[in-house]
Every structure is written in structure tokens, then in C-alpha cells.
Amino acid sequence: MAVTGNATPSRLGQINATGDSKALFLKVFAGEVLSMFEKTCVMKDKHVMRTISSGKSAQFPILGKTAAAYHTPGYNILESENALLSQVKKNEKVISIDELLISSVFIPRIDEAMNHYDVRAPYSTELGRALAYTFDRNTLQLATLAARASATISGVTSGGTVLEKGATVATTGSVLAAAIFEAAQELDEKDVPENDRYCVVRPEHYNLLVQTTDVINKDWGGSGVYADGEVLKVAGIHIVKSNHLPNSVISATTGENNTYSGDFSDTIATVFQKEAIGTVKLLDLGMESEYLISHQGTLMVGKYAMGHGILRPECAVEITKTAP
């Protein structure tokens, strides 16, 4: 039978069969990038996050402590000579926004036509993963640098702590576990809140902890599953496994307006509480996709504009294999 006249195609990318034929495709792309970023990023919910609508930096006020004193009946609390009023020292931390971070890919139309499998979904997944990896690397480097930083308010707050435990901390799970307990003690002695404490280690050291029976043996108060290769907590600190804990000399990169660089060759673990570092977001994770007639292909871009900085060094402890 002969077919005459024009057909009315059902465009898969249209909303309610009207408008942009790629509208739904863009949302799928955006969702894939966002979901992969959320899935891959381990540091997003483990430190202070703040969003600004404009500007190039944000200020984080840091407050000192108040004191308590016994009151003598009849004494004026407002009189300075009675020493009943607390003088709260203050400081601030300014975190700058780094330049726009992008992850992009260009797909030639001719290649897409010749290819026998879809590449857009895997590419969009990789865009989200690349952005998440950069986010984790920057914040983990920063958390480690926080452990080396001096006090924010001199004479009131404390600086970070570096525990030099020697070479065996990198090869023996019990030594590493003991170092994490020591880190917990350091945080306790600095009045750091017990909630939201984390220890990030690389996979090799995570597995050392799993094989340390005292860490996961419930009879000893351990928390974890040997069969699943999982350790949940040590000394009340959540254990997080990540390939992005720094372990080499890292140089500054063009576009960074905050300091993330340093020598991390001896870093074995970084322990921190949520208030140790902060992130400022100017442009949250965003996605764009456009077919370029001039280039006969589709440009896919994932992006964000954020910056990271140290807030409270006393909330961070670095465990190193440096000889004590």
C-alpha cells in the first residue's frame, strides 16, 4: 500500500506533544548528572554549607567562649571591675568563590549516527562523577590542611592537631585504630561536639580496620560487619572510605581562589567534625545541553561555582606515618 502525505511524529522529547522537541531529554540529562554527583560525593553532607545569591566571597563569624562567675548579692553585673561580664572574642573566616568549574563533552552528530549504542547517558554520568570527584578532593585536602592550621581566635580557641604515628600506622589496623581513638581524645579535650565526627581513610587502610577484630567485635563494643567488609565507627567516629584523601604533593591549580594545595605524602587519615571546614555556593550544580548547527554536534556541560575554606581548625586531626 502506498503511503502518501506527511506523518505526524510522536516526538519523545516533547512535553504534552508541544514545544521544544528536546525538552524532556534535557531533564533526563540534568537528572543523571545530579544523581551521579549526589551518589559519588562523600563530603557534601559532612561540613558546613552556605549559599549566597551574589558576590565573590562570604564571611563566617567565629565566636569565642563565655565564662561563668559567682555573683555576690548587691554587686552590679554591668560594672567591669566586678568581672561578671564575659568578653567574647570574635574573628571571621572569609571563603572566596573559585572560578566556574565545568565538566563538558562534545558529541559529533555523525559519530552518534554511526554508533550502535547510546553514549549520552554514560557521558552525563561521567560529567556528574567528575564534578563530585573535584568537590571531594578539594574538601578533603582542606580538612587535612585544617588540622595543620593555627587557632582562629588566639588564646581562646585551639589550632588543629597532627598525630605523627610512624610507619606502622599505614600497615597495622590496630595501630591505626588506636590513632583514631587518640584523635577522638584530642577533639574531646578541645570541647569539640561529639556529633558529626568523621574519619576519612583510603581503601587500603579501611580494609586494615575491617580486619582488626577489636574494631568490629560487638563483644568489645565494635561496630561493623567482617563478612561485608564494613566498619561503621571507631571511638564514636564515622569511618568513611574514599580514594580522594590526598597522598602526594598537590600544587595549586589555576582558577582556585582558596588554598587546597600542600604536601600530603604522609597523610594516612583525616579526622574532623562538621564545623572544621565550610563551603560557599554561588552557582549550585547546573547542567546545559545544546545542539550546535555550526559544529554539527551536541555540547553537554555540567558546572558549579563554589569555594571551600577552613572554619575551626580545632575540629580537625591529621594522622600521618611521619616518625614521631
For residue range 274-324, list pLDDT tens digits in order.
999 999 999 888 888 888 888 888 888 889 999 999 999 999 999 999 998
Mean pLDDT of 243-256: 95
Residue 9 predicted with pLDDT over 60: no
8: helix, strand or coil: coil
Residue 288: the pLDDT is: 84
Residue 220 predicted with pLDDT over 50: no
In 3D, which of 268, 258, 275 has the Cα closest to residue 157? Answer: 275
From first CA to last CA, the distance across the chain in angstroms is 88
Q: Tens digit of pLDDT for each residue in 90-146?
A: 677 889 999 999 998 888 877 766 665 566 677 788 888 899 999 999 999 999 999
Mean pLDDT of 179-200: 95
- Long-range (24+ apart) CB contacts under 8 A made by 243-247 are 243/202, 243/203, 244/42, 244/133, 244/136, 244/137, 244/140, 245/140, 245/144, 245/200, 245/201, 245/202, 245/269, 245/270, 246/137, 246/140, 246/141, 246/144, 247/202
Q: Residue 19, class by beta-carbon neighbours within 10 Å (0-12 exposed, 13-18 middle, 19+ buried)?
A: exposed
Domains and CATH numbers, the chain: 23-63+73-320 (3.90.1690)
CA distance 56 to 267: 32
Is this model's pTM higher than 0.85 or not? no
Neighbours of 223 (CB within 10 A): 16
Distance of CA 12 to the CA centre of its chain: 37
Q: Residue 281, class by beta-carbon neighbours within 10 Å (0-12 exposed, 13-18 middle, 19+ buried)?
A: middle
**DSSP of 193-255, one letter per residue?**
-SSSEEEEE-HHHHHHHHT-HHHH-GGGT-EEETTTTEEEEETTEEEEE-TTS--SEE---TT
Identify whether the C-beta of residue 37 lies closer than 8 Å to the C-beta of residue 132.
Answer: yes
Q: What is the torsion angle, in degrees rounded to the nearest 10, for the CA atoms of residue 142, residue 144, residue 148 and residue 152?
A: 50
Crossing angle, helix 23-40 and helix 120-148, to 10 degrees?
30
Q: Tens digit of pLDDT for each residue in 55-65?
A: 888 887 766 66
Identify whether the C-beta of residue 143 lies closer than 8 Å to the C-beta of residue 200.
Answer: yes
Cell numbers at 61, concatenated = 563569624
